[in-house]
Chain A
Amino acid sequence: MNAVYGEVARLSGTGVALRSTLVALACGGGLPLLLALTGPQNAQPPMPDIDTPEGVGFVLGIGTVLLFVPALIGTIAITNEYRHRTIGTTFLVVPRRGRVLTAKLAVYTALGIVYGMVASLSAFLALIVATWMRGVPLGVNVVNLVPALIQLSLAAAAYMLLGVGIGALARSPFVAIGVVLGYFLFVEYVLMMVPGVNAIYPFLPGGATASLTSFDFLTGAIASQTALTPATMVSPVLGAAILVAYAVIAAILAIFVPLRRDLR
């Protein structure tokens, strides 16, 4: 448990925990608030307004396009250990590296869940504020929103772990950040537009998240503009399983790659 306490102290001391929470508030609520205020019916293609269940689902789902942010936080936090050379001192205090790396994973999983909960709460508040400002009713009962908000929290934790895995592999913050941003903001979208290849989208992290949250706006929008057949989303359960599989692979990489690495 000492390794866990140490990692919590590091998160607190470096300000990562506080900044992660503030970013979750901004990213979780920002885009949904903007969309809910302007009205999903004004999107291209037009979507139902927030006084319908579909409209509420769309507004919450749009928040998933910013899930690369927790991945980025995980990546930066891990690569900073190499950048500032604190990983060596850490392994001197706890030479059994597996303990340190497992503790890091546990702490970042928890941070990812907290990020997701804060982002979800922020998105929920954005919806409430938008309905109040526009004078329209919310399309779903608040209780019915809980599953969607939990899904978003778990997806954020999975993305945080993906970021941790990428950071552990790359070590260089610039390379790792480039990989995260390049993949989530460019490569996945390009793959969605390549005929034939777009069929694998539901099995990529972004597609799995879209399946989990039943958010198929992006695939639909791209299909409508490119005449491509939109990729068929998998079930939310399978989407969740795919995301968990990615998180597990990232966790294995994050533990085993640095285990035997020379720290020169």
Chain B
Amino acid sequence: MNAAIEVEALSKRFGAVVALEDVTLKVENGRVVGFLGPNGAGKSTLMRALLGLVRSDSGEAHIAGLPYAHLPAPAKTVGAVLDIASAHPRMTARAHLHTYVALGGMDRSRVDTVLSLVGAQSYADRRIGTFSTGMRQRLALATAMLGDPDILVLDEPSNGLDPSGSAWLRTFLREFADADGAPYCSPAMCSTRLSTRSTTSSSSTEAAPSGLAHSNDS
């Protein structure tokens, strides 16, 4: 069986800036993995390369054994939150979700399902421009969950969430992984969450050649 996520010797330069250098990692199903690293270490770039938004100079990145663009049903395999600002402010949350449901050929009933999942029903028909950061974060997570994916890729998923929102997110990700999904997140927030959880579960950190580090919490 293929690993949920497999990256092999991935490198990427932006002009003179080396963003990723020979990064290799493997994430199995049912695990929550957090990336640690200082600003500019390349955490977000690695996620974008994994999802085909940034073209790597060399190396390979596979999800469920295939490059992201070759997945037969990408939104049903991977849900991603890379940028919580990625929504048109004039749209309502419901219209935003309907757009991506239509684009992905998904069942329209998923809109209400994910709104309920992230607790956003009460502001589903408000314009996104009026949302707080936390509300945007929940909408971004709802968008990622539209395809009912097996794998989640989240970049700084708790940014803007209040303490109860952060607690909710921790529970959400743990339950997702326990259901044999493979959440995978980058971020400052993850380091906090993982270190808190390290008192009750094993964790490890290893440095990547580029200075990027990732921490496993099983």
User: Is A5 part of the contact surface with B, judged by Cβ < 8 Å?
Assistant: yes
> Does the CB pair B88–A9 fall under 8 Å?
no
CB contacts under 8 Å to B, within A88-110, are 88-96, 100
> Does the CB pair B104–A84 fall under 8 Å?
no
> Does the CB pair A13–B54 fall under 8 Å?
no
Chain B residues near A48 (CB, 8 Å)? none
Q: How far is the CA of A13 from the CA of B87 in the complex (A)?
A: 11
Candidates B88, B90, B103; contact of A2 at CB < 8 Å: B103
A1-40 vs B, CB cutoff 8 Å, 1 = contact: the mask equals: 0110111111011110000000000000000000000000
How many residue pairs link A and B with beta carbons under 8 A? The number is 99
> Does the CB pair A13–B95 fall under 8 Å?
yes
User: Is B195 part of the contact surface with A, judged by Cβ < 8 Å?
Assistant: no
Q: With A263-B48, A264-B54 as given contacts, are A85 and B86 in contact (CB-CB < 8 Å)?
A: yes
Candidates B51, B53, B99, B147; contact of A13 at CB < 8 Å: B99
Candidates B82, B88, B105; contact of A14 at CB < 8 Å: B88
Q: With A84-B88, A86-B86, A95-B52 as given contacts, are A9 and B99 in contact (CB-CB < 8 Å)?
A: yes
> Does the CB pair A14–B90 fall under 8 Å?
yes
Q: How far is the CA of A2 from the CA of B75 in the complex (A)?
A: 13
Q: How far is the CA of A93 from the CA of B102 in the complex (A)?
A: 10
CB contacts under 8 Å to B, within A57-84, are 80, 84
> Does the CB pair B102–A91 fall under 8 Å?
no
Q: How far is the CA of A186 from the CA of B44 in the complex (A)?
A: 42
User: Is B179 part of the contact surface with A, judged by Cβ < 8 Å?
Assistant: no
User: Is B25 part of the contact surface with A, judged by Cβ < 8 Å?
Assistant: no
User: Is B92 part of the contact surface with A, judged by Cβ < 8 Å?
Assistant: yes
Chain B residues near A262 (CB, 8 Å)? 14, 48, 53-55
User: Is B9 part of the contact surface with A, judged by Cβ < 8 Å?
Assistant: no
Residue of B with least CB distance to A261: B55
B92-134 vs A, CB cutoff 8 Å, 1 = contact: the mask equals: 1001101110111100000000000000000000000000000
Q: With A89-B143, A91-B52, A96-B69 as given contacts, are A3 and B98 in contact (CB-CB < 8 Å)?
A: no
CB contacts under 8 Å to A, within B46-100, are 48, 51-55, 68-69, 71, 74-75, 78, 80, 82-83, 85-92, 95-96, 98-100
> Does the CB pair B86–A95 fall under 8 Å?
no
Q: With A13-B96, A80-B88, A84-B89 as given contacts, are A94 and B83 in contact (CB-CB < 8 Å)?
A: no
Q: How far is the CA of A91 from the CA of B69 in the complex (A)?
A: 9
> Does the CB pair A13–B98 fall under 8 Å?
yes
User: Is B45 part of the contact surface with A, judged by Cβ < 8 Å?
Assistant: yes
> Does the CB pair B99–A10 fall under 8 Å?
yes
Chain A residues near B96 (CB, 8 Å)? 13
Interface residue count for A (Cβ, 8 Å)? Answer: 30
Chain B residues near A2 (CB, 8 Å)? 102-105
Residue of B with least CB distance to A80: B88
Q: How far is the CA of A15 from the CA of B128 in the complex (A)?
A: 13
Q: How far is the CA of A15 from the CA of B68 in the complex (A)?
A: 32
> Does the CB pair B100–A89 fall under 8 Å?
yes
> Does the CB pair A90–B98 fall under 8 Å?
no
In the assembled complex, the CB of B163 is this many whole angstroms from the nearest CB of chain A, namely 27
> Does the CB pair A9–B95 fall under 8 Å?
yes
> Does the CB pair B53–A6 fall under 8 Å?
no
Chain B residues near A13 (CB, 8 Å)? 88, 90-92, 95-96, 98-99
In the assembled complex, the CB of A133 is this many whole angstroms from the nearest CB of chain B, namely 37
Chain B residues near A12 (CB, 8 Å)? 95
Q: How far is the CA of A86 from the CA of B87 in the complex (A)?
A: 6
Residue of A with least CB distance to B81: A89
In the assembled complex, the CB of A6 is this many whole angstroms from the nearest CB of chain B, namely 3
Residue of A with least CB distance to B83: A85
Chain A residues near B71 (CB, 8 Å)? 95
Would you list 27 pairs from A and B whose C-beta atoms are within 8 A, ordered by A residue? A2-B105, A5-B103, A6-B99, A6-B100, A6-B104, A9-B95, A9-B99, A13-B88, A13-B90, A13-B92, A14-B90, A14-B91, A84-B85, A85-B85, A88-B53, A89-B86, A89-B143, A93-B104, A93-B147, A94-B74, A95-B51, A95-B71, A262-B54, A262-B55, A263-B53, A264-B14, A264-B48
Sample of 13 further A-B pairs with CB below 8 A, known A2-B103, A13-B92:
A2-B104, A6-B102, A9-B103, A10-B99, A14-B95, A80-B88, A84-B88, A84-B89, A85-B85, A89-B100, A92-B74, A95-B51, A95-B71
